[in-house]
Amino acid sequence: MTHDLFIGDRLFSSWSLRGWLMLEKFGLPYRTHMIGLYSGTMAADMKPLAPARLVPALRLPDGTVVGESLAMAETLAEHHPDAGLWPTKPTARATARWLCTEMVAGFTALRGQCPMQLKYRWEGFTPSKDTLADLQRIETLWAHARSISSAESGPLFGAYSLADVFYTPVAARIIGYDLPVSEANRTYCMDLLSDISVRQWRAMGMTVEYDPFPYPQNLTAHNWPIGENSKAATVSTGPSINSACPYSGKPVRDYLELEGKVWGFCNPFCRDKTVADPGAWPNFTAMIGGVNDS
């Protein structure tokens, strides 16, 4: 039984990222559907999901539509009790729910001044007093979570949970705007963003071009610090070393070049997400590794 997830954008929609991680990270079956967040078609695209009006939205296998991320989280945890979405221990579970609820309801200064974007790391950004207060509160909550779980590093409650899902876009803001937090919490942010699923989400987002860029900053832009500084590039023709797409198994018709070798894919999306971050895709790295080892 497959869930249907409706998202708006990958590079900029923090709530869409949360909705996707709820399903992707816990191995729940789903199909992704894109809503035109920046194309002007959002209202029409959302109409079949009414009264849901924002992304993400979830349609359950029985046809029930669930809006709002926290409601989606609780519904998925209820439907998949063995998936481990919430921490197992009652005290940790209650604390994780608290952290997620405060994230949904709070940090308005941080969210307003620092829109999530996964393309650049900005140099020279100056956070407001209210944004600094939000960061201090986030660090307080993270410290409290670790005092409950005794997890000194890694996921807040020892094992990855919905708490880490809900704070991944916060981590993207901290790293993307180079905001001041402790070294331990910066490491936690980098751990969240280095997760292979998050790298894949970003790589898929990088397949879309934006003109103009939705959230410009009059600042120096540096490369995103997680993932490869990709040396791959699209090329117009083959032949490629492989005859089947590493993701779909279908015949190849779109190509990239990496380190002097040409590789093929079944469509431009498969090619372009690989160009964005070749190391994020185990099927691709296994394929090229097999050839390089032979």
* pLDDT reported for residue 200: 98
pLDDT > 70 fraction of the chain, expressed in percent and rounded: 99
Per-residue b or e along 162-175, where b marks 16 or more CB atoms closer than 10 Å to that residue's CB: bbbbbbbbbbbbbb
Q: Is the pLDDT of residue 180 over 60?
A: yes
Q: Tell me the backbone φ, ψ of residue 43, rounded to 5 degrees.
A: -60, -45
pLDDT of 61-101, one tens digit each? 999 999 999 999 999 999 999 999 999 999 999 999 999 99
* pLDDT reported for residue 293: 64
Whether 21 and 83 have beta carbons less than 8 Å apart is answered as no
Match domain 90-199 to its CATH number in 1.10.3470, 3.40.30, 2.60.120, 1.20.1050. Answer: 1.20.1050
pLDDT of 147-160, one tens digit each? 999 999 999 999 99
Calculate mean pLDDT across residues 135-147.
Answer: 98
Whether 75 and 25 have beta carbons less than 8 Å apart is answered as no
Please state, in angstroms and rounded to a whole number, the distance separating the CA atoms of residues 146 and 141: 9
- Tell me which residue of 228, 170, 169, 127 sits closest to 9, measured CA to CA: 169
pLDDT > 90 fraction of the chain, expressed in percent and rounded: 94
* pLDDT reported for residue 294: 56
Mean pLDDT score across all residues of the chain: 96
Label residue 186 by pLDDT band (50, 70, 90). very high
Domain boundaries, the chain: 3-79, 90-199, 233-293
pLDDT of 194-239, one tens digit each? 999 999 999 999 999 998 889 999 999 999 999 867 899 999 999 9
Fold of 3-79: Glutaredoxin (3.40.30)
